[in-house]
Structure 1
Amino acid sequence: MDTLLFISQNLDVIAERTLQHISIVGVAIGLAILTGVPIGILITLNQRAADIVLYIAAIIITIPSIALFGLMIPVLSLIGHGIGYLPAVIAVLLYSQLPIIRNTYTAISNVDPALREAARGLGMPPKQRLARVEIPLAIPVVMAGVRIAVVMNIGITAIAAYIGAGGLGVFISRGISQSDPRQLITGAIMVSLLAIASDYALLWLQRRLTPASSSGAGH
């Protein structure tokens, strides 16, 4: 009951911190898509490059988030942004690379060779084949990678409260430091609800973007 009362009395603060959380994750994921998808496409051309890129991305994702924030503080302090919004966005951007690059690489690599040959037979140059055949077929798998990145990083962004980035993690960090279970539970519930809502929203978008032939093949 205490937690429900706390939530009802702080709806405006909860809404503000939820928007901060969404802003960090949304900007970082947007940048991750703009960088990760082209990288995933490019490395399909060279297996050695693919191995190196995927290995580096896998190493980055194993670094504990609090350690990554700590590493960025002295570097970004040189431009006056050692703590706060910027390091949080950069961390989420880095953590998002592996699922997006890997899924893009896998999706493009696994396009049916017969479809490529058919497109080539129609006289499509490589760029046109990529834009009209390969990328549309790859979208479901790429979107699955985006969903993984979003859900994972909603949790990671909660840690960013410790470097002054705001977001729902503020409830958790204050709940711990002040021994206040109301704030701790509120933060945990809101982060979980945001992750679930985001996953369902992206699943809906994934289905809307999936070509009819691909969705039919999956049933």
Structure 2
Amino acid sequence: MELLRETLAYYSLNGGYVLEQFWRHFLISVCGVLLASAVAIPTGFLIARRGRLARWVVGAANVIQTVPSLALMSILMLGLGLGARTVIATVLLYSLLPIVRNTCAGIRGIPPQILDSARGMGMTALQTVLRVELPLALSVIMAGVRNALVVAVGVTTIGTFIGAGGLGDIISRGVNVANGSAIIIAGALPTALMAVCADVVLGLMERGLDPTR
């Protein structure tokens, strides 16, 4: 109970600061995932039709995923410097694998007879992509985006070590002071809440976009 009172007292004294860091954390995470989507979704469409290229692209994305986030951030920092840009680039790279893989799986999961029907109706390749393939694969793509965003929230927390701000700053401050458990919880709770809310909201969008519904 004492820890809870201290946490609530921290929120009452520093509510504006916590809210500011919450939005900064959220925007960094979302920006990285959106940029990754702009790269990964077209790539997923491309490799879905080329099996050998798909193995190379997914394999490269897997390699990036195995690199520890702090190590990857440190490498990118050499070229991008300190701050939010490096964290956004790290989130972008970590988000590529789930989005590329799900996009490729979604396109490959479309029954061939549906594509044949689209061509038989006189649709061009671009019309087939925009009016048939994308709507049918969108729920699977959204599942990849959802996974990427949840991971991005965690990766952005580490951005505090390179001066990017976000809720990681609050957690780090609690670690560096004596009896800082309440401060750590004050930063960890909104981080966890952000990840859970992102998962729930995008999960609802995923189900809503499911063509079988």
TM-score by length of structure 1 reads: 0.91
Matched residue of 2:48: which SS?
helix
**Match of residue 52 from structure 1:** 56
**Equivalence for 2:66:** 62
Counterpart CA distance in 2 for 1:19 and 1:4 is: 20
For residues 109-164 of structure 1, the C-alpha deviation after alignment (integer angstroms, 9 at most, x for no partner) is: 11011211111221222221111111100000000000000011101110011100
Partner of 1:163: 162
User: Residue deviations 1:154-209, cap 9 Å, x none?
Assistant: 01110011100000011111111224111111111111001111112212332343
Q: Which amino acid aligns with 1:124?
A: M
Quote the residue 2:117 is aligned against.
118
Partner of 1:19: 23
Deviation per residue, 1:27-54 (Å, 9 max, x gap) = 1111111111000001112111100000
Q: Which runs of 5+ in 2 are unaligned?
A: none
Any runs of at least 4 consecutive aligned residues in structure 1 with deviations exceeding 3 A, and if so which?
A: 207-211
> How many pairs align?
208
Helix, strand or coil at the partner of 1:147: helix
1:83 equivalent in structure 2: 82
Distance 1:34 1:74 in 2: 25
CA RMSD of aligned residues (A): 1.2
Any idea what the Cα deviations from partners look like across 1:32-78, whole Å, max 9, x if unmatched?
111110000011121111000000001101111110111112222xx
Q: Distance in 2 between matches of 1:172 and 1:64?
A: 20
Alignment deviations for residues 89-119 of structure 1 (CA, whole Å, 9 cap, x no partner): 0000000000000000010011011211111
Map 1:129-144 → 2, pairs under 5 A: 129-144=128-143
Question: Which residue of 2 is the match for residue 195 of structure 1?
Answer: 195
The one-letter code sitting in structure 1 at the alignment partner of 2:27 is: S
TM-score, scaled to structure 2 = 0.94
Aligned-partner Cα distance in 1 for 2:106–2:56: 18
Partner of residue 40, structure 1: 44
Aligned to 1:79: none
Q: Which runs of 5+ in 1 are unaligned?
A: 77-81
